[in-house]
């Protein structure tokens, strides 16, 4: 018995000339949530596909629930649930029929499968739409049904590949709550995401993946602490002052601030920086609409680690000063 629900050593997968996965090690303890964070094409999906027995690794090995994903694939399959990137439910069946079919495929009796389907639909707030074809479902409903479909066999281990991609914030939050409930009930979860908020909200441990490699690992807080910096954010009241402010910030910090609309942000380590900046801008008679010093977001962690941006859904919340 391994102490981990999911464990992988040295996974490699090559597609043509690209190494989609290039020597990945990971371990997830039972009941924990691991987030794979990385941009599109980083290899996150391939890792999930290997662990969910859909793709064979070229080298390396992995066990899920103490079974090898290659040689004991069927044992693995009966212990996992998978929610893929595209809600893979049948559009031409009703929500109820979708879940019934999966129950039957898993060997449940007709009665159990029906009962299980109704229970899941109610729990996922789909009872009202249960007997309508999935074709007419909204994106959020479809994802909830997809997640419900992954749970028909009551798996202890759940793989969620970008579970909320393409959902509006409300539907996303709703799905997060559902995932949170599953975790509270003891399900082990491995999820991939491009969204920092998502990794931050759901995952206890994070692997940052880029070009098929793990480039950083730790809890969200550890990762934020790792680049150690806080960020200074400044927005002049008048857009015409942006250039001047940018110059001042460069002088004070030694690095070029990043510009998003009228807002400038720059890593800031020196605690005296804030007062120095205020003084300088005061001398120049530049009024500020916004000024804050905040700890790094995962986005910045990622940027610092890879020199690349992770797609971020919403801007950071505005703080007026």
Partner 1 sequence: MKSLPASGLEQTFSLAWRSIVQLRRNPWELGDYSFQPILFLLLFVYVFGGAIAGSTDDYLTYMLPGIVVMNMMFVTVYVGHGLNTDLTSGYFDRLRAMPVARWAPLAGRITADLVKQAWSIVLLLGLGWLMGFRMEAPVWGLLSMVLLVLVFALAFSWVSVLVGVIARDPEHVHLFGFTALFPVTFVSNVFVPVETMPGWLQGVVMANPVSVLSDASRGLLLGGPWLAQAGITLAWAVGIIAVFAPLSLWALRRRLK
Q: Which residues bind partner 1 (CB under 8 A)?
A: 49, 52-55, 74, 77-78, 80, 82, 84-93, 97, 101-102, 104-109, 112, 133, 135, 149, 153-154
Q: How far apart are CA 165 and CA 42, in angstroms?
A: 16
Contact 312, 195 (CB under 8 A): yes
Contact 237, 287 (CB under 8 A): yes
Short-list 248, 192, 210, 234, CA closest to 33: 192
SS3 track for 30-53: CCCEEEEECCCCCCHHHHHHHHCC
Closest contact distance (angstroms) between CB of 97 and partner 1 is 6
User: Which residue's CB is nearer to partner 1, number 37 or number 69?
Assistant: 69
Closest contact distance (angstroms) between CB of 118 and partner 1 is 15
Closest contact distance (angstroms) between CB of 91 and partner 1 is 8
User: Which residue's CB is nearer to partner 1, number 90 or number 299?
Assistant: 90
User: What are the start-end ranges of the H helices in 124-272?
Assistant: 139-151, 169-184, 196-202, 220-226, 242-253
User: Which residue's CB is nearer to partner 1, number 82 or number 310?
Assistant: 82
Q: How far apart are CA 165 and CA 168, in angstroms?
A: 9
Closest contact distance (angstroms) between CB of 147 and partner 1 is 12
Closest contact distance (angstroms) between CB of 15 and partner 1 is 8
Closest contact distance (angstroms) between CB of 133 and partner 1 is 5
Q: How far apart are CA 177 and CA 46, in angstroms?
A: 26
User: Which residue's CB is nearer to partner 1, number 89 or number 196?
Assistant: 89
User: Which residue's CB is nearer to partner 1, number 53 or number 187?
Assistant: 53
User: Which residue's CB is nearer to partner 1, number 80 or number 208?
Assistant: 80
Contact 234, 264 (CB under 8 A): yes
Closest contact distance (angstroms) between CB of 124 and partner 1 is 17
Q: Is 243 exposed, middle or buried (0-12, 13-18, 19+ CB in 10 A)?
A: exposed
How far CA 26 is from CA of 10, 35, 84, 244, in Å, comes to 9, 11, 20, 47
User: In this structure, what token pair is assigned to residue 163?
Assistant: 């579970």
User: Which residue's CB is nearer to partner 1, number 143 or number 235?
Assistant: 143
């Amino acid at each position: 018995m391994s102490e981990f629900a999911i464990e992988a050593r040295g996974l490699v997968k090559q597609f043509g000339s690209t190494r989609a996965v290039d020597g990945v090690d990971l371990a997830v303890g039972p009941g924990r949530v691991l987030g794979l964070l990385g941009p599109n094409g980083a290899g996150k999906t391939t890792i999930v596909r290997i662990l969910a027995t859909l793709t064979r690794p070229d080298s390396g090995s992995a066990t899920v629930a103490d079974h090898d994903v290659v040689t004991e694939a069927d044992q693995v399959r009966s212990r996992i649930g998978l929610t893929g990137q595209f809600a893979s439910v049948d559009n031409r069946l009703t929500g109820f029929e979708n879940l019934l079919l999966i129950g039957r495929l898993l060997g449940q009796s007709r009665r159990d499968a029906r009962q299980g389907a109704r229970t899941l639909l109610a729990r996922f707030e789909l009872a009202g739409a249960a007997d309508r074809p999935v074709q007419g479902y909204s994106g959020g409903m479809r994802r909830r049904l997809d997640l419900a479909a992954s749970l028909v066999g009551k798996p202890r281990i759940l793989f969620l590949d970008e579970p909320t991609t393409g959902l509006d914030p409300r539907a996303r939050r709703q799905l997060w709550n559902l995932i949170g409930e599953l975790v509270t009930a003891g399900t082990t979860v491995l999820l991939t995401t491009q969204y920092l908020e998502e990794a931050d909200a759901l995952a206890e441990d994070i692997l940052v993946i880029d070009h098929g490699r793990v480039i950083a690992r730790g809890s969200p807080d550890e990762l934020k602490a790792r680049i150690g910096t806080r960020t200074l954010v400044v927005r002049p009241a008048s857009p015409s002052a942006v250039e001047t402010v940018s110059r001042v910030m460069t002088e004070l910090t030694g690095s070029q601030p990043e510009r998003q609309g009228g807002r400038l942000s720059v890593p800031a380590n020196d605690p005296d920086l804030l007062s120095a900046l205020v003084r300088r801008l005061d001398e120049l008679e530049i009024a500020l609409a916004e000024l804050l010093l905040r700890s790094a977001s995962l986005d910045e962690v990622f940027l610092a680690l890879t020199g690349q941006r992770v797609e971020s859904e919403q801007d950071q919340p505005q703080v007026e000063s």
